[in-house]
Amino acid sequence: MTTHLFSPLQLRGVRLKNRIVLSPMLTYSATNGRLTEWHLAHLAKFAVGGVGLVFMESTKVDPRGCSTPKDLGLWKDEFVAPMQRITSMIHGSGAVAGIQLAHSGRKARCEPPWEGRHQLLEFPGVDHGEPWELIGPSALAHGPEYFVPRAMTRADIQQVVHAWGKAAQRALRAGFDVVEIHGAHGYLLHQFLSPTANRRSDEYGGSLPNRMRLAIEVVEEVRRHWPADKPLFFRASAVDDDGWSLEDSVALASVLKAKGVDVFDCSSGGMNTPAVRDRPVLGYQVPYAERIRFDADVMTMAVGLIVHAGQAEEILASGKADLVAIGRELLHNPHWALDAAVALGIRDPYGLVPPQYGYWLEKRAKGGFDRCLSTGTDGVPTHPAPVLSD
């Protein structure tokens, strides 16, 4: 059976084996910006499980931009070699390796979520214990429980732009195939885009084109350091709760496409409330991806409560998006891609995963073991287990 979910996608010189993407998700497990064994164990599950594009979590271009003291970083050359181990593992499992590059701006210097997520009054800097200064477009706090950042000077802005470019250069040396620029969820680029967080009166504030200027400059700088044959994604909050509209996102996507962005990753929220809320509606952000795809004529990635194989297939088949990014559902089931392949009836679903798994799982299915999982009302298997030899 031919499906859209398991159709390959060519993005510049990079070919994805399917349209399933591990959404970048912070795990707050780094030490002074450095990878730990956790990251290898964490990402290996998804690469082995059949995901087409595996994204490294939000990785900071500047130590001041870390959300927490445990964020991952790429602001130093010495961070490159450990990441090569990650990309080698992802490639060896048949997947494409992506990394999201970010800066938290005024939302930096917080506790991890399970410790309360409160902003820390003071904390030694992540890199080497330096003073950890909060910066943002304007001297306005993110909310009542946050501290007021220092308004960035033009020199600060250019330093951040440069840092994004250098991080992209390091990502290339580390072996990544895809870079995503994080411009959503109330972080630095979103802060500059916002008419409420950004109260500047210079060329980076005021009108929509001015507020888009930093995002454009970051994309241009990253593209200068990121090869023309490798794709570039941009994650945006398509709408937020404080003045940024879907029409603004369409305008942004149109401009960024012309600057070299290949895929617009459509999330939402995060300016004054958490980026993810408890919403009972499956695929609640998919309409944003559909609208931007149509109006800006750019490829989009849908994200947000995409949990079922048939749901993901419908999103792609109906032209609402080009890729589906899955986060928490993959945390729950790292082999979601394999389950989806079986559910959708694709040919050779077990070929989706490495043979160390696929050979035995296919043998299990052909040998009738799936039937043995069926039990009667008393919990006793309804079929005897077949005997298989190696």
Give the mean pLDDT of 256-280.
Answer: 82
Which residues, 6 or more positions from 320, have their beta carbon under 8 angstroms from its beta carbon?
A: 286, 287, 289, 290, 293, 302
pLDDT at position 384: 47
pTM: 0.93
Q: Alpha helices, DSSP H only, in 10-132?
A: 37-48, 80-92
Cα dihedral sign for 171, 172, 176, 177?
A: positive
Give the mean pLDDT of 239-246.
Answer: 93
Domain ranges of the chain: 9-353, 356-390
Q: b/e string for 257-289 if b means 16 or more Cβ within 10 A?
A: bebbbbbbbbbbbbbeeebeeeeeeebebbebb
pLDDT at position 1: 72
Per CATH, domain 9-353 is 3.20.20.70 = yes
**Nearest CA-CA partner of 49 in 304, 341, 282, 305:** 341
pLDDT at position 25: 96
Q: Is 204 a catalytic residue?
A: no
Q: Would you state the structure tokens that stand for residue 11, as one six-digit string?
A: 């993005």
Grade residue 370 by pLDDT with cuts at 50, 70 and 90. Answer: low
d(Cα 34, Cα 1) in Å, to the nearest integer?
44
Residue-wise pLDDT for 129-175, tens only, equals 999 999 999 999 999 999 999 999 999 999 999 999 999 999 999 99
Q: Tally the C-alpha atoms within 13 A of residue 232's C-alpha that lie toward its C-beta.
A: 29
Catalytic residue chosen out of the listed positions 187, 204, 288, 350: 187
Q: Which helix (H) or strand (E) holds 329?
A: helix 328-332
Residue-wise pLDDT for 210-221, tens only, equals 999 999 999 999
